[in-house]
Every structure is written in C-alpha cells, then in structure tokens.
Amino acid sequence: MRLRFNEVKATQAASRLLELRGGRMSYMKLIKLLYLIDRKSLISHGRTITTDRHVSMPKGPVVSQILDLTTAEAPPSGPTFWRQHISPPENFEVCLLCNPGDDELSRAEEAIIEDVFNEHGAKSRWELVEFTHNLPEWQDPNGGSVPIAYRDILKAAGKTEAEIAAVEDEIESLAAAMALVSPRQAASPPLRPATPPQVY
C-alpha cells in the first residue's frame, strides 16, 4: 500500500524549489529535484515528501503524478491546486504564480528541500538527467516506464532487509490510517527530525 498522493504538499514542495531558483525553472529540472528530495527523505526519515509515485523513464526517475499535473491540460472542472500556483510549461519552463504556503511541510522537510537544492540546484536539466541515470534504482524502460518501489531506493542506499521491512510496514500502516479519513485530513504527516505516462 502506498501513501495517498497529497497534491497540496507536493505543490508546496515544488513551489519552495521554484522560490530558491528565483521563481522559474525547467520543468524537467523541477521533476528531477522533486525526485531527489523524495529519495533523500525516504532514506533519512522513512517516507517521502511529495507522496508521489516514482517511475523510471527514459530521461531518468520521475515523480509521475506531478509530471501529469505539470504537462496535462487543466480539467473542465477548473484548475488543479497545482495549476493555481504553478504555470503550465512555456518553452519547457514553469514559473511560480503565487505562493501556496508551507503548512504541509515541517522544518525537517524544508531542510531536506534546501539541502537538495544546494547540492543540485546549479546543475542543468541535462546534468540532472545524467546524474539520475547513475542512481542504482533507475533502470532503462526502453521507451516506456518501470515503477520504482520504496525498497528499490532503500536497497540502493545500502539499507538492510530488516530496515527496509520496517520502513515498508510503517508506510503501510500510515497509508491504511490515511485511507480512513477525508482527502484533506489524509495529508501525510510532516516529517520530524530523528525519526501510463508520456515518454519523458
């Protein structure tokens, strides 16, 4: 069982990266940075920040629902929360339209976002493609997509089978609890310290 996707939290995480970059960024670069913050968070804290699904695609790992939110047309019912705050791509870039707040993010999560940006924010989108191609959990999908499980990332980081099983059990318990409440209430609790898509 996976955590329910929290679009508000994902939007706030992406917006923080855009703020750090001056409000505009290649959407490919944004997708890569969001994957890297999820990866770092999962390894260090046992769960992700964006709550998105991860897949291997030709240009590297992807946060799949965020990619769809970024590239899809707005639904007839009106713009998504994401699209209210982050523009559709223009010349392969997106920009921050307005600040969605940060109430879904803890200080620990904001620190992870800033750490990843400080380490990788100066890289170009193509440098990030090359970097993520070298991550052990990525596999060439031969033009399609291949799911990346939590255990794939944890195993690549050198976690033991017991550590991986403990993380999986905790995430499954959290996902089950979140499934019992409303979507807004089901927002993934913030981290605390010490504790078919298009070809892309």
Collapsed DSSP state (helix, strand, coil) of residue 52: coil
Question: For 13-28, what is each residue's pLDDT tens digit?
Answer: 999 999 999 999 999 9
Task: Using alpha carbons, select from 63, 65, 114, 69 the residue that is nearest to residue 87.
Answer: 69
Question: For 57-105, what is each residue's pLDDT tens digit?
Answer: 999 999 999 999 999 887 778 789 999 999 999 999 999 999 999 999 9
Q: Quick one: average pLDDT of 24-47?
A: 97
Residue 1 binned pLDDT confidence (cut-offs 50, 70, 90): low
Please give the Cα distance from 14 to 8 (Å, whole number). Answer: 10
Question: For 139-182, what is each residue's pLDDT tens digit?
Answer: 999 999 999 999 999 999 999 999 999 999 999 988 888 777 65
What are the structure tokens assigned to 4, written together?
């329910």
Q: In angstroms, what CA-CA distances link 183 with 9, 24, 174, 179?
A: 12, 29, 14, 8
Question: For 184-193, what is each residue's pLDDT tens digit?
Answer: 444 444 444 4
184: CB partners within 8 A, 6+ apart: 8
The full set of domain ranges for the chain reads 7-178
pTM of the entire structure? 0.89
Collapsed DSSP state (helix, strand, coil) of residue 17: helix
